[in-house]
Structure 1
Amino acid sequence: MKTEEMYAALNEIFRDFLADDTIDLKPETTADDVEGWDSSNHINILLAVEERFGIRMSTREIEKLKTVGSLAELIESKLAER
């Protein structure tokens, strides 16, 4: 999967869950940068990411995520394992 496609899919997920069509995720984006991205939405977003990409993330992996870029890297590594 190309990086552009991954970010397009991530943008769609975030926009849907946070009801904000103006979200434009970048690798350096954090929860502090996106209004409404709180702990409960974080869980829902990660579940949607797992479903969309057909992957599973461990609690340890999730705890290490600090930016959207680190999420994208984790998704890429999970997809490469298949």
Structure 2
Amino acid sequence: MQDIYDKLTEILQDVFDDDEIVASPELAAADVDGWDSLAHVRFILAIERGFGVKFSAAEASAFANVGELANGIAAKRSA
């Protein structure tokens, strides 16, 4: 899972243009400046490209925090 969090950190820093963001299980949209609905779409698209996975719209909007997202990525990669 550490490799997923490392890559998520890179993606978060790129999408939100903030080198201080570090992916952690409890990190949520409310914790990141500028994480609105448009930024969420850009973030999910970057994740899909970066990890080679696809999320449905319902899946993408259901993640409560980065921990749930990381679990979703792990599940998609092992499927």
Q: Quick check: TM above 0.5?
A: yes
Q: Where does residue 74 of structure 1 map in the other structure?
A: 72
SS of the residue 1:36 aligns to: coil
* Separation of aligned partners in 1, 2:39 and 2:60: 14
- For 1:41-80, what aligned pairs fall within 5 Å after superposition? 41-80=39-78
TM-score, normalised to structure 2, is 0.94
Unpaired runs of 5+ in structure 1? none
Q: Where does residue 6 of structure 1 map in the other structure?
A: 4
Unpaired runs of 5+ in structure 2? none
SS of the residue 1:47 aligns to: helix
Runs of 4+ in structure 1 off by over 6 angstroms are none
Query: Taking every aligned residue pair, what percent have the same amino acid on both sides?
Result: 39
Q: Shift of the alpha carbon at 1:63?
A: 2.3
The count of residues paired between Structure 1 and Structure 2 equals 79
Which residue, out of 17, 20, 24, partners 1:19?
Answer: 17
* Separation of aligned partners in 1, 2:61 and 2:41: 11
* Separation of aligned partners in 1, 2:5 and 2:23: 7
**What RMSD in Å do the two structures reach over aligned CA positions?**
0.8
TM-score, normalised to structure 1, is 0.91
